[in-house]
Structure formats: structure tokens, C-alpha cells
Amino acid sequence: MKEQQDKSTVFKVNRRDFLKTGTLGMTGLMLGVQFSCSDKSKLLTGNPDVVFTPNIFISISGSGDVTLIAHRSEMGTGIRTSLPLILADELEADWKRVKIEQAVGDSKYGDQNTDGSYSVRMFYEPMRRMGATVRLMLEQAAAREWGVDVSECKAKNHEVVHTSGKAFGFGYLAEKAVDLPVPEEGSLTLKTPEDFNYITKKTSIYDLQDIATGSAVFGMDYDLPGAKVAVMSRNPEAGPGIRSFDGEVALQVPGVLQVFTLDNPGFPTTHDKALGGVVVVADSTWAALQGKKALRIQWESGINADYDSESFQQDMLSRARKPGKVRREQGNVTEAMSRAVKTVEGEYLVPHLAHAPMETPCAQALVTDNVCEVWAPVQDPQWTRRAVAAALGFDEDSVKVNVTLLGGAFGRKSKPDFAVEAALISRQSGFPVKLLWTREDDIQHDFLHFLSAQYLKVGIDENNRVNAWLHRTVFPPIGGTSNLSEKEPSGFEVSMGHVDNPFDIPNMSCETQEAPAKVRIGWLRSVANIHHGFAVGCTLDEVAEARGVDPAQNLIELLGADRKIDFGALTADFWNYNEKIEEFPWDTARFRNVIEVVRDKSGWGKSMPKGSGMGIAAHRSFLTYVACVVEVTVDDKGQIRIPMVHYAVDCGVPVNPERIKSQFEGGAAFAASLALKSRISVKGGKVEQDNFDGYQVARITDAPYDTLVHIVESSEKPTGVGEPPVPPFIPALCNAIYAATGKRIRQLPISLG
Amino acid sequence: MATYQLIVNNQAVEVDAQPDTPLLWVLRDNLQMTGTKYGCGKALCGACTVHLDGSPVRSCSTPISTVGDKKITTIEGYSEPVVHRVQEAWIAEDVPQCGYCQSGQIMSAIALLEQNPSPTDDDIDQAMAGNICRCGTYVRIRRAIKRAAKGGNQ
């Protein structure tokens, strides 16, 4: 699960590692890059054999090429562009002269766990300081060459310019800066926002051209010489092993080279162990797949062989109707509810969900003697390195993890189990291997999103004020996949839309009940915010109706006076996404603002034709404030279309607005899948769906026709945008459906039949 | 194992493969053309879309023995002007997020525009509904197709 993060790690490491090296290693890359200039006062390039590497993220060659390290994984958020862009901006590098190299998994880079929408939040400041440090060194080098004071020298667009107008290029200065000491942090001056070249401006992703021409390298695309293809058959029930198997027929398939088994982990499986099963290694993918089909396997049954998700969820719901463990309490809900003149009551069900990234889990590995190298689309290359090393019994130093592009991930590829499998298969087979998970493998053996049952009851008093809020949530915690004794949601899970309820309601009780994990449970894009956002957002719409107040106005009224909420004083379970509440407060003014912005921009309240409607919801997750208005049409047959979505987002400084917009457009489509299409059911311990026919996701006809994203201008610390679009979309859609049809939605996926 | 003479992106190539091998795996394993992606293996997601004589097919479900002398075009085969136009539109609209499904999306879009130079929204829905994008780039896919239809201007 998520690691504790230390924001200062990277910078400290870098200061220690602030090496000044002149190397000859990159000569081949540098040749051919010559910039001529008729103005002799400008020396742009220097010795092309010199590479100035002032820290592990930045190097500058004598020819002026700047190479920046992307240390976090690219799964579609644009982070491989956005963090180097921050470096380039402070460095005053010309983005067109920047090359990006993907880092291997190594703790020297600081946190690489690309998960939890915190890459920009955690690295905005360190990247700026690193860029500014190197900028200052280049200015100092120029000042020394000219014999002037550094205050007269200013880096600008790949050059350092003197007040007299003369200039040196970064390439020329690379060699001159090599022997300079690293400036103290206190001597740095960060750029002011009006001087930003790239931050808050539009920049396309670095890999755009390669993706559009089919040359981008994803997990199975890396060309590992001599690699054989491996596929596996795994127990449909997560954890148990093999009773018996016969691989003889599989071995007769032309091209099949080997059939063998991998050990099973039992249950709980943990999040990083291989599931075990039968491996087929072959010359080609097709031979491997035919071999897999020919396997005859009797699987062992384990402790979850009788797991039936539908009846389990009904059982969870019956527990949600009863008082549970109180996770947040204020006032006296029971007493206040008895005084209520109106109540709103609802039960909410969300099924298990699969991640289903378009690229299935896959990994390539080569194990020789006591060394292992992996190439894989992983979100957390350091965890991958640890898990592979542990599985092989190697030192971490003997494992190298190269990160390819990720063909989508959504949390699935945080878990390194598939890379562990590839490494074990390479060792056992003696071959370099490419391990492919088929789509069937992916959907049947995912780390599923928790299924959930919730009960909410709200009391409205004689003054038409909401005076009581009861919210019970029941779902198997992620921790149960590693530890059977964890049966009730942990603090971080209830802090995703349950106990962190910001509405100013005097009497409140947030409760949970036990529900053990019966399958592998993992985090899916926006995690517990999915089901909590759904239930809370829909309930608030019902409250608005019961109060006879416009739903947008209702949200603002319930929020109360602008304030920063000290949740730590309200509940011991509060978790602020690993950040101190003083640094990232829960600011109801920012929340109110996004509600008002989306209300005003969306034309909220306009009259809609019959069969159409608008819905609103707002949700803060991952420290980002989001409000959403969805427009919907529902035809006579119950066919739902979404012509327009409006989002208002406050994510602090909008570092890369173009990618913020794309994350919200995509987040709406992702949420549309969860709301309209997707459902995993488990029977007899086995997932019943196995491909995109049974497990449906939004297509172009289901997704919103258009999504407009209104970004709030802000100088607050930047926060993430990968996950925050998902939670408010679902209730906004459900509320729109109610406006269009008069039907309340209390279960996903939505069925109007 | 049988030998097949194929025309891939206007080049003649020879491959040895089992007759039931899907074209997808011939492209990826035999020819190391990795621009075409595996997504589902059952013609449900469109990630593997290529053209046979200009018509879009799901290469994951097209046995190599059925290809015959039809011309195969993949994302790597950008020789036709329409292909350039679509790729340029994809770049101009910043369509991709993770990018994995985009080869298939682009191949479906090219086929649509070759057959129908000015598609309506319904035409786009019909032609593109077989291609899943889990990142949800659909709004921009539609915009890029319209841009390409207008010759790249919008």
C-alpha cells in the first residue's frame, strides 16, 4: 500500500549526489548537433564531449542538449512531461532542446510510487529548486567567464545573457560550470509566476508524436533479444494452488517449449506476490496461448471457495442498517433524528469493479546467475524492485527495473505481482521472457475495487435545517488482502468521503461494520471516494428536494460559513492524503467557490426539455476541490446519453492546464463506465466476467459528448488531478437522471429497466 | 507451420506461422511491428485494428490464413495522405493520454474518413464504437476526426 512520503527526500539526496562530471559517454548522441551563429558575442556551444551533470535529474551537454530524468511512471496523466517541464522552466531551458529519459527504479530518485495523485503535489517545489540551482550555476559560470558580478547575468531561454546584451549558450557554459560548488539553498531565487515559460501554460505531452505513429514503447513492445513468450493459468479463486495438472497436450502444441508451475501464495495473497499457477513458455504468443488452452488443471479449493458477491453484499447491507463502529461523532444523532420533521433515507450499493487498463498487465524479465533485469509498465518501480528481489532471494542491488510507458493503469499496475511472475518464470525457464496477461487473466485475477453497501439517513428540523447526518459504510478494506485480521475500513479509507464530510451539521455519526476481503482487493482510481461520493452526493440531492431548496444552493447552505476544518479534532481516523492539515487545509471557501463556478458556468437552472435534466455534486479528494454538473437525456427506452459535463476544479497552481483538462475529460468517461456499465460479480470464488463483453466499459457512445473544465486560478500549492474527477461525476449524473426521469439511483451500475 | 507471402505497408514479406495464428501476433512476433496492440483477443476493443485492402479489421481475430493477397496497412504504414492528416489532427488536438489504444483508434478513423470524407456525429459513433479508450479520450477523438475531415483546419 501507499508508502509514507517524505517531501524532502529528493532534495536531500540530490544535494548529496550533486556530482559534477565531465564524461565522454554521450559523444555519439551529441555529434551532429551544431548551432551556428553569426553573432560572435554569442558562444552557444562548447565541447560536445562534455556533459555537465549537476544532479541526478539534469544533465547538459557541450552541444547544448538538456537531458531531464522523468522518475515517475507515465500511465496517461502526462506526468512524464509535467515534472520535467517544471525543471525546464526554472532552469530556463528551451523545451525544444530537452530530451527526457525514464528513470529505473531506485530510491536515489526519491518517491517513485506513481499513485494517489501526488506527483505534482510532492515534486513541484523540489523540481523548481533543482532547476533554479542549476540555473544559478550556469549564471555563475557566465559571470566568471566575463569577470562580472553574477547579479548582472540572467539565464533566459537556453542562454545566459549579460546586462550588456552579450550571451553564452547553455552548451558553452556546461564545461565552464563543471567545477563550480553547488549553491546553498538559501541563495536560490525561484522564478515569479509572471516569468513562467511553461508552468500554467499549454504544453503537449513529450510522447505525442511517437504515440500517433505507433512507435511508443509499452510493456510488450520492448525488444528483449531472444525472449520467449510466457502465459499462465491461475486458480480462479485467489490464493489456493493446484491439485493436479497435465501439461502433456500443451507440450505437443508446436512452439510450446516448457510447462511448469509457480507456487501459490495462499490467502491472503498480499499485493505483491505472484498468484502462482501453471506456466506455458513458447516461441510465440500464439503458441503460448494455444498451449494454455490445452492445459488440464484441477485447482485446489481455498477458504473463499463459497464466496458469492451478491449474497455477501446483501449481508453487508443488512449490517449497514444496524448501528456500527463509530468513526466520527458529534452531537447526538439519535436524539436529533427523533426531533426531525422530515428525514431522507437511502441505501447504496456499488459492485466490485475491475481496472481493465487497455494494456493488460505484462512484464519482461531476464534472470541470469544472481542478477535480474525487468522491463515493465509499473507504477511503482521501487516496490517492483523490492518484490522481485524478495521473490528471487536476491539483493535489491541485483535487480534493475526499467519502466516502459504504461498503457493505462488506474492503480492496477501499482501492484508488482506480474513483474514478480515474469522474473520467476525467467529464472525457472532459463530464458529471457515476455509475460502476457490475457484480457481474461486481467479481469479474472484483478485486485478488485471493494464492493460496498451504505446506509444514510438525514434529519431536517422544523426550521428546515439539516440537523442530523447518519452515514454507515460497509466494505472489505484493502488491508484485508495482506492481513486477514483487517476486516473494517482503515482511517485512510474512511477519510475518502465518509468521515471527512465538510457540511456544517450539528449532529453527525459516521459508522462502519466489518466485512472481510474474499478476493484480492486493491485501489482503483479515486478508491473509496467512488462509493462514498456516490452515496453522499445523491443523498444531498434528496435533502435539497426535501428542503425545497435548489440543489446547488443546498450544497452552499449546508457548507455553512467559510472556514478551515480541523478534522483532527473531529475524528481520530482523519487522514489528509499523507499531508499535514496545516499545509493543505480543508478549506470550505475553496469548496464553495468550485460549486459557485460550476453553477455559473454550466447555466445551472436553465429549463431543460422533457426527458433531460441537470445534476450537480461536489467532492474534495486527493486535496483537490471539484464540482461537477452533468446534463443527461433519457429516451423512452431508458437509453442514457450525456451531452455535456461541466467541471470546476481548484487544484492550486494549475501546472499543466492542458493535461488537467484531459484528466477531467477522461475522468468523466472513466466515471461514466462505473456509473453506467461496469460490474464484477463473483460466484463460487470465481469472477464471472472475463472480457469486454461481460465487463463493459464506456465507449464513445456512452461517454460524455463534451466536457468543459473550468480551472480556478490559484497560487495555492498544486495538488493532483488524476483521481479527483471521478467521485463527483457519478452523483451528478444520478441527480441529472432524477431530474430527467424522477427515478432515484441507489445502485451501480445504473439500470432504468 | 506454413509460409505466407504478405504485403505489409506496401512491402512484400514472407512469414512462417501456424494457419490459425491471428494477424496481430504475426505482426508483433514475426515482423516486430509493435504499433498494433493486443487488448482483448476477441474483437471487442479495437486496439488491434489494421486495414485489409483499406477496410478496418480486428487483427486479433483475423487468422493469417485468411489474409491472402490483401494489402495489410498498419499504424506504421503512413504513406497515404489521409493517414498523415489523421495523425496530424491527433497531434493538434492532443488526443492521447496513455496512448495504448490510439493506434487502433487512428486506424478506425482513417478507414472512416477514406469511406466518408465528412462524417456526422452518428457516423463517427458508428465507426468508432468498436474502439475502447479506457483513459476516455473520446471527446478529442471526435474533435480530431472532424479536424482531419476538414483537411486539418478547424
pLDDT tens-digit series, residues A320-375:
999 999 999 999 999 999 999 999 999 999 999 999 999 999 999 999 989 999 99
Q: Exposed, middle or buried: residue A256 (CB in 10 Å: 0-12, 13-18, 19+)?
A: buried
Tell me the chain B residues in contact with residue A286 when contact means C-beta distances shorter than 8 Å. 17-18, 20-22, 25, 29
pLDDT at position A753 is 76
- Percentage of chain A surpassing pLDDT 90? 93
Smallest CA–CA separation between B23 and chain A, in Å? 10
Q: Do B35 and A406 touch (CB under 8 A)?
A: no
- Write out pLDDT tens, residues A638-660: 999 999 999 999 999 999 999 99
Residue of A nearest to B128 (CA): A700
Count of structural domains within chain A: 3
Residue of B nearest to A356 (CA): B134
Question: Are both A418 and A527 inside the same structural domain?
Answer: no
pLDDT at position A23 is 32
pLDDT at position A746 is 98
Q: Is A445 helix (H, G, I), strand (E, B) or coil?
A: coil
Question: Are both A342 and A277 inside the same structural domain?
Answer: no
Q: Do B100 and A213 touch (CB under 8 A)?
A: no
Q: Exposed, middle or buried: residue A568 (CB in 10 Å: 0-12, 13-18, 19+)?
A: middle
The arrangement of secondary structure in B2-76, i.e. its CATH architecture, is Roll (3.10)
Mean per-residue pLDDT for A697-717?
A: 97
Per-residue cell: A331: 452531537
Look at residue A397 and tell me if it is in a domain.
yes
Question: Are both A387 and A336 inside the same structural domain?
Answer: no
Query: Which member of B76, B133, B134 has the closest CB to residue A214?
Result: B76
Residue A108 has pLDDT above 70, yes or no: yes
Tell me the chain B residues in contact with residue A706 when contact means C-beta distances shorter than 8 Å. 139
Domain ranges of chain B: 2-76, 81-150
Q: Do A405 and B99 touch (CB under 8 A)?
A: yes
Tell me the chain B residues in contact with residue A217 when contact means C-beta distances shorter than 8 Å. 34
pLDDT averaged over every residue in chain A: 94
Q: Do B138 and A74 touch (CB under 8 A)?
A: no
Question: Are both A702 and A554 inside the same structural domain?
Answer: yes
Q: Do B90 and A77 touch (CB under 8 A)?
A: no
For chain B positions 46-105, those within 8 Å of chain A (CB to CB) are: 47, 74-76, 78, 87, 90-91, 94-103
The CATH number of the domain holding residue A109 is: 3.30.365.10
Question: Are both A92 and A233 inside the same structural domain?
Answer: no
pLDDT at position B154 is 53
pLDDT at position A675 is 98
Tell me the chain A residues in contact with residue B102 when contact means C-beta distances shorter than 8 Å. 211-212
Q: What pLDDT band is residue B68 in, cutting at 50, 70 and 90?
A: very high
pLDDT at position A41 is 55
Query: Which member of A208, A699, A700 has the closest CB to residue B94?
Result: A208
Mean per-residue pLDDT for B77-91?
A: 87
- Write out pLDDT tens, residues A59-83: 999 999 999 999 999 999 999 999 9
pLDDT at position B94 is 98
B81-150 sits in which CATH class? mainly alpha
On the CB side of B57, how many CA atoms lie within 13 Å of its CA? Answer: 21
pLDDT at position A33 is 26
Q: What pLDDT band is residue B80 in, cutting at 50, 70 and 90?
A: confident
Q: Do B133 and A358 touch (CB under 8 A)?
A: yes
Question: Are both A255 and A120 inside the same structural domain?
Answer: no
Query: Which member of B28, B106, B132 has the closest CB to residue A358?
Result: B132
B40 touches chain A (CB under 8 A): yes
Residue of B nearest to A690 (CA): B40
Residue of A nearest to B103 (CA): A214
Question: Are both A181 and A260 inside the same structural domain?
Answer: no
Query: Which member of A205, A407, A670 has the closest CB to residue B136?
Result: A670
Query: Which member of B18, B91, B128 has the closest CB to residue A700?
Result: B128
Residue of B nearest to A228 (CA): B29
**DSSP per-residue codes, chain B:** -EEEEEEETTEEEEEEE-TT-BHHHIIIIIS--TTS--S-SSSSS-TTEEEETTEEEEGGG-BGGGTTTPEEE-TT---SHHHHHHHHHHHHTT--SS-TTHHHHHHHHHHHHHH-SS--HHHHHHHHTT---TT--HHHHHHHHHHHHTTT--
- Percentage of chain B surpassing pLDDT 70? 97
pLDDT at position A6 is 38
pLDDT at position B83 is 83
Q: Do A212 and B91 touch (CB under 8 A)?
A: yes
Q: Do A76 and B135 touch (CB under 8 A)?
A: yes
Q: Do B25 and A285 touch (CB under 8 A)?
A: yes
CA–CA gap between residue A635 and residue A224 (Å, rounded): 52
Last residue of a domain, one of A396, A411, A436: A436
Find the domain containing A366 and state its range. Answer: 228-303+361-436
pLDDT at position A329 is 98
Question: Are both A530 and A403 inside the same structural domain?
Answer: no
Cα–chain center distance at A289: 31
DSSP annotation of A378 reads: -
What ipTM goes with this model?
0.98
Residue A7 has pLDDT above 70, yes or no: no
Tell me the chain A residues in contact with residue B18 when contact means C-beta distances shorter than 8 Å. 254-255, 286-287, 290
Beta strands in A93-174 (DSSP E): 98-102, 153-156, 159-162, 167-169
* Amino acid at the residue A371: V
* Helices assigned H by DSSP within A258-340: 285-293, 309-320, 333-339
Tell me the chain B residues in contact with residue A287 when contact means C-beta distances shorter than 8 Å. 18
- Write out pLDDT tens, residues A175-220: 999 999 999 989 999 999 999 999 999 999 999 999 999 999 999 9
Residue of A nearest to B44 (CA): A692
* Amino acid at the residue A666: G
| Cα torsion A602, A603, A608, A613: sign | positive
pLDDT at position B81 is 78
Q: What pLDDT band is residue A32 in, cutting at 50, 70 and 90?
A: very low
Q: Do B21 and A284 touch (CB under 8 A)?
A: yes
For chain B positions 2-31, those within 8 Å of chain A (CB to CB) are: 17-18, 20-22, 25, 28-30
Look at residue A690 and tell me if it is in a domain.
yes
On the CB side of A727, how many CA atoms lie within 13 Å of its CA? Answer: 29
Question: Are both A638 and A495 inside the same structural domain?
Answer: yes
- Write out pLDDT tens, residues A382-422: 999 999 999 999 999 999 999 999 999 999 999 999 999 99
For A71, the enclosing helix (H) or strand (E) is none
Question: Are both A347 and A243 inside the same structural domain?
Answer: no
- Write out pLDDT tens, residues A509-559: 999 999 999 999 999 999 999 999 999 999 999 999 999 999 999 999 999
- Write out pLDDT tens, residues A251-286: 999 999 999 999 999 999 999 999 999 999 999 999
pLDDT at position A26 is 29
- Write out pLDDT tens, residues A221-249: 999 999 999 999 999 999 999 999 999 99
Question: Are both A327 and A429 inside the same structural domain?
Answer: no
Question: Are both A624 and A680 inside the same structural domain?
Answer: yes
Residue of B nearest to A215 (CA): B35
CB B110 within 8 A of CB B103: no
pLDDT at position A42 is 75
Q: Do A407 and B37 touch (CB under 8 A)?
A: yes
Q: Do A214 and B42 touch (CB under 8 A)?
A: no
Best of A74, A208, A217, A358 to substitute, by most chain B Cβ atoms within 10 angstroms, is: A358
**DSSP per-residue codes, A12-55:** HHHHHT------STTHHHHTT-----S-TTEE----TT-EEEEE
- Write out pLDDT tens, residues A574-629: 999 999 999 999 999 999 999 999 999 999 999 999 999 999 999 999 999 999 99
Q: What pLDDT band is residue A132 in, cutting at 50, 70 and 90?
A: very high
Residue A485 has pLDDT above 70, yes or no: yes
Tell me the chain A residues in contact with residue B87 when contact means C-beta distances shorter than 8 Å. 212-213
A28: which residues sit within 8 A by CB, 6+ positions away?
A: none
Last residue of a domain, one of A188, A213, A238: A213
Smallest CA–CA separation between A658 and chain B, in Å? 9
Residue of B nearest to A286 (CA): B21
pLDDT at position B152 is 61
Look at residue A509 and tell me if it is in a domain.
yes
